Amino acid sequence: MKLDIKQAVKAGGELLPFDCEINLSGVVLSGEHPFREPVRLSGSARAYSGVLELILNLRFVMEKSCDRCGKNVRREMELCLTHEISLYGETGELDDYPVEDGFLDLSELAAQDIILELPILFLCSVDCSII
């Protein structure tokens, strides 16, 4: 999903809600395709003082083998993240995501967020042990 930055700026600080599904079935982690169902992406955008504030809510199902015992695990997950992106290319303390032709690719941003927030070890349970 591409977010029209001009529309956010035109809204003059008002929240612009969005809601869509994105396909991450092509993502490969540890040789597996853990996202077999679409990811639900919802949230809002608001532009003010040269900054685009994004609130992202991500709901998804991850299916992957336990990194310790190999058992197949299906886990529903949810993330809520915020980003502040410069509208004029001066990042400083702000997140640096390219705005191309007045659009920000929320699908790419969401995919990066999910991968960065996943646990290093994906276990079937906290006390998993190889038997």
Using the predicted structure, report yes or no on whether residue 119 has a pLDDT greater than 70.
yes
pLDDT at 80 over 80: yes
CA distance 30 to 7: 39
* Per-residue pLDDT at 93: 47
φ and ψ of 41, to 5 deg:
-115, 120
Q: What's the number of CA atoms in the CB half-sphere (13 Å) around residue 25?
A: 5
At 5, list the tokens: 């930055």
Examine the pLDDT at 52 and tell me if it is beyond 70. Answer: yes
Give me the pLDDT at residue 8, please: 80
Give mean pLDDT, residues 47-56: 88
Other Cβ atoms closer than 10 A to 17: 9
Please give the model's pTM, rounded to 2 decimal places: 0.81
Residue 94 pLDDT more than 60?
no
pLDDT in tens, 33-48: 999 999 999 999 998 8
Domain range annotation of the chain: 2-117
Per the CB < 8 A criterion, the answer to whether 111 and 24 are in contact is yes
Give the residue-averaged pLDDT of 62-74: 93
